[in-house]
Structure 1
Amino acid sequence: MRKGTHRVVAAIFALGLIAAACGSDDPGTEAPTTEAPSTEAPSTDAPMDDAAAETAAAQALVDTYMTIPTEIGVTVGPSAAVPTGKKVAWLACELPSCAEVGEDWGKITDALGWELKTINVESASPGAGVQEAIDWGANYIAISGSPVAAFAEQFAAAVAAGIKFSFAYNGEAPADGILTSISGNDAVYAAGAKMANYIIADSGAAANVLMVNIQLFPVLVAEEEGMKDTFAAGCAACTFDVLPVQIADIGVNVPGLVASYLQENPETNYVSYAFSALPIGVTAGLEAAGVALPKQVGVDFDLTGLSEIVAGTHTAWTSNPKAYSGWVMAHAMVLDAVGDEFAERAAGEELPNFILDDAAVAQEIIDSSPMSNWKGPEGFADQFLALWGVA
């Protein structure tokens, strides 16, 4: 029996009961005559029509997700020359994704004439790193993934000292001391919805989905909600379940946990990974355990997902231009440095992305950069430098 599965059929049935209860409340209305039950077999045309309609609706959306973006998401540069000498602390976490977010910080600060200090931290407890940045005299601190709740004391101390934060992938709402929060909850919710629509279209509205997720991160919970809500609204026959794991499980316990789940729930035909590192070792683990491979998809590809698309063991991934996100974080700092508001904040925080399911394109991306990933729209770094007036 599938555990914890969200079945939208129950919700539709409940709505039917409500509609029946509200359908006629006129006390003067006579009770309808009860007809004898039909002996004819029920028609199966309606469910088939529903699935076809759900598939078509999802496919229409998916068709808009497949184009690789070419432009950056901001157009307004600083109103004055950017001052030199600012100090930026980049807090680099232990996850591979942080290496990509931090990939271009040296290039950015060199171009601006700013000073960079890279501080290694753990995602779940970056407080000591924030304190080191405070002690160093940073003007700006950049962090990816870690929510403020994980370093609340140091965050308050930094803001009190006049230090500003640029965040990525942590879902923080606008607040004093926060210049931007790139790809926050709304954006990652949308990414989850996009992948859910892809699954609906690809499966013919007949998907039993397991999502592997680390629920420590609010943005990944938002992604989970985006998938769940999309299946609920757009796929009556689909099921959706979640396998919660921890950071320490990546590449160690996740393969066995997924294999065990699939053995217990053999009807599962899709596994979706909340971000790039989660499928490390899973395909090999499933093959070693003799478990038939489901279709594997995910949000936020990197070399792992791209390589498996090339190999044919993964079906599709959404992009996530993590290097590009660093430039948007820096853009917020640049505007602040001249006293400008980030008027395009909402647009800037929505990262350009697409869904990739083409092996040839996946190989091109692998070959395109030192970290074998899609960094962002072609020429995006030059577009930012020109916008800042430092090209």
Structure 2
Amino acid sequence: MAGNRRPLGMSERARLDPFEALGESVPPRDQRDLMERPFFSLAKARRIAPILYKSGETEVQVYAVPEHGLATIWDADILIWAASQLLAADDRGVPTSRFFRFTPYQLLIAIGRGTGARNYLLLKGALSRLQSTVVRTTIRHGEHWRRQQFSWINEWEELTTRTGRIEGMEFVLPDWFYQGVLDRRLVLAIDPGYFRLSGGIERWLYRIARKHAGRQPNGWRFELRHLHAKSASQSRFSDFALHIRGIVRRQPLPGYILELEPGSGSNVLLVMRPSVIEIGWRPVDNSPRRNSRIGTSDATAIGTSNAILSVLRTHGSQLNLWSGSEIRDSKDSKSESKDKVEARGAGDKSAFRSVDRGPATGPRNGPERRS
């Protein structure tokens, strides 16, 4: 029928029922695919170079618009908030949608940000990066190989009064992300302390630890060189390793203890173990923790270095969804790695790909299992 035809150029919001964000606080949950693969820049400085990553038959390619740069791991907090809202609504039997309506105050409070005028400006910058970042991936392609392309946010809009007062915001999530959240097998509960981690590599390490080590008493092990490739970081491996040693020394990850131990040959392993093993809880994949908040342990780190990290920047600063005083504290904005884990353009792909050979756990001194 002609009356049911969608006019060309009509916004997705015109054909989707809106989901009104829940007013109360909800437990944070993260999407496994985003925790496992390098979808985001770990630097607070603007990154233009794409992420080109391959692991077996799985590929992840992430491209930036020079005006905004790649979406960062801090911008991803918006997606974590959206996933948490969707699952909390589903738990309550509330219909959900890819079309979100919310107030900036709701979102900023939930992810541990301030609510001043600057924070609203940073939020808009984050939404712009999420919309302009283009992702191509073969993850979750089913029986037949196919590549999907999308942006983290299809469209967004700020709702203001004539006086300029912000009354609300709207955005539309891509179907790839939305379906990955509704499939509860692809979601994990995370510690609210994650939002207080200020470093990009710290945040990325927590997501890796939560995804792989989980609640396993023996934790998980990775070679540092494998982690470097898996992170798609632009820093040189030597700087990345120093940064990891500094994190091991500080032990900032909520719920996990990090240790360094020798591997085969000259390889060094990073060991991730839960600091508290919770007994008798329901699976954390589908339900949040209710009473016990696990924190960091005061166990002494093994094999750490006292070397001080250098700080170099090759790109200009950009507005980020983080407080201004901390934007200068980036330790992951190094010049492009000599190892060519990622590259700036579409040249020799053999030099662009970072090959993921797999995750690792097993006996303390046994061979590493890859992920």
Larger RCO: 1 or 2 (CA < 8 Å, sep 6+): 2
Q: TM-score, normalised by structure 1?
A: 0.21
Structure exhibiting the larger radius of gyration computed from Cα positions:
1
